[in-house]
Structure 1
Amino acid sequence: MSSSIQNLDHLKIPLEDILEATNNFSDENFIRQGGFGKIYKGQLKLSGELINIVARRLDTKYGQGNKQFWTEILMLSKLEHDNLVSLVGFCDEKNEKIVINKYAARGSLDSYITDPNFTWGKRLHTCVGIAHALSYIHYDEKRDFSIIHRNIKSSKILLDYFWVPKLSGFNLSMTTVASQRDQICIEDACGTIEYVDPTYVKTGGVTHKSDIYSFAVVLFEVLFGKKAITDKIDIKLTNEAKSRYEKEQLDDWINPDLRKQMDGESLKIFSKLAYDCLNEHRARRPNIDQVILKLEKALDLQRLQTEGAMYLQRLGANPMLDVRALEGTSSDLKIDRSSNQLHYRFSRSTG
């Protein structure tokens, strides 16, 4: 690892620059306390440009240390994807170890889980983006190594100003040789218990399918509008999710304001996928590419419903509206003139 660290000198940021950027880690700049340590926002001048940043200060009393600090930096320095958090640099000076990332203006997904104004469409878009991030870290052919994240949860999913989701929290991640990525790795279990693959906890063996399980917990948080971590120790989200899915009682637990927004088929595909990802037998969980296909289909169906509702609204306001104004979009809308019924036809844009 030492040789790899020496290659990161170009990412070093002086402590005095970070102190200036965060107003000496002032209370006004404080965002939240995480498992890594305290997190602050700020504005850092870098190469003549002022950028919005987040500074994460390592605090070893929370159980993490040098290993997790350097793991985060080494991982992010080798990764680049639209749905991953961006590494700006780091500081290792005067007993301070700080990771600097670009600031995500909308905060983290866990802040929106219970808010029905964070619409079903936005939720699906977020899940699709994070699935693409997982596909990239698990299976990118341009790298000779594969990554298991080991800490997937809603608080590690950040949202930028344009609501683009960014996966963060690579301090607990681990690498495997790309050609051996499907093998079980033996490593002490870590992460937040509500999200951790129970097979990993029982056996100490972790695979990419362990990330799929953790992602499924997030999917059910998104679906129900309820957080996995609550004060109600007698209720576990995953147990409720599996039980209600098997009894066909999902509607009873979905936030009613959220349920009103959902296309029925979109909900059906999404919930079946989330349930399959929770399978206790890891081999039976879908791989990440299958997850992406199902999520994108659920999103497409939801978009069709939204486009149809918008058209009917406009038609109600203007009965003479020509349907051709909406045709030729990503999904074609057609009117059966004889029955005055609205029909949808899938068509993926090739332009």
Structure 2
Amino acid sequence: MTAASPEPTVPTRDQVLRAPKVLLHDHLDGGLRPATILELAAEIGHELPAGDADSLARWFAESADSGSLVRYLETFDHTVAVMQTAPAIARVARECVEDLAADGVVYAEIRYAPEQHVSQGLSLDEVVAAVQEGFEAGMAAAGGRIVVRQLLTAMRHQARSMEIAELAVAWRDRGVAGFDIAGAEAGFPPTRHLDAFEYLQRENFHFTIHAGEAFGLPSIWQAIQWCGADRLGHGVRIIDDVKVAEDGSVELGRLAAYVRDKRIPLEMCPASNVQTGAATSIAEHPIGLLTRLRFRVTVNTDNRLMSQTSMTAEMWSLVQAFGYTLDDLRWFTINAMKSSFLPFDERLAIIDGVIKPGYAALLG
């Protein structure tokens, strides 16, 4: 009698922690350690809403848990305030890499808006250099266990997107892998920044666009069909173009079908989406149906401080909600690595040399 192939098993939380993970959507100013915020704020005399690390962490989580994207974004006033000098920015960047490496992340693209870090006299170029210094220190400390790249973000309500796009291209071979726009979607469509996106396309450069989070299908349509986005930041509202009939059959609208057919990556951030009201719960998050329909789904943290989350926590919550196996988590991880802005050969090296062996060891 031959042995049957083993049934796929739902992983333990420890296995999720040890599994190699890939992170494409994480904000540098949304992932600071509370203790670091306290120290940096004390150095510059910035007043915080709480005086110890635990209370401060709780304040960030509660403020971000309001169900409003606008209120959620207000929490960044404090993190950005303490990131206005090169040493402070480099420290935050280094600690970011250390924290991700400890969480089993093997590749990450970390985004932030350089224009938000110049109030104390730093130039945009000096901001990028400080982040890169921190990332390199963090990668060195991790002993080659993690590769990290920058994504430079322009704020959609400002008018500096072309300047930031040019900055990103200037740093393309020195640690910057791509460009992004972020901020409140409603009233600030991505087409306001069309000149920047057209410039990036002419430069053969990669970019993602925050779209389909607080605003619906028009935002996603513009990001892809007008601006040419390589990936969608969140993209959760693509579900508005998916109809599920009473008998369980599914019909995709034109836009949803296009996104799936073209394998346009969705940078999904479940915990954050629940906080901002883009989804009612993890169990009811569209990621379940979109995964079943085999969209190019990736799992991300968005803002680790505000959402009190990590890649392990995000994946573990999906395991609990949907019964995902290690094979499913491997699928998410390879999706993300395929969708990264690293050169193809470097992506392949991480998939074949790190991710597949890492999961094979857990499955063995």
| Global fold match (TM > 0.5) | no
- Normalized per residue, the structure richer in strand is 1
- Normalized per residue, the structure richer in helix is 2
**Is the radius of gyration larger for structure 1 or structure 2?**
1
Structure with greater contact order relative to length (CA < 8 Å, sep ≥ 6):
2
TM-score (norm 1): 0.24
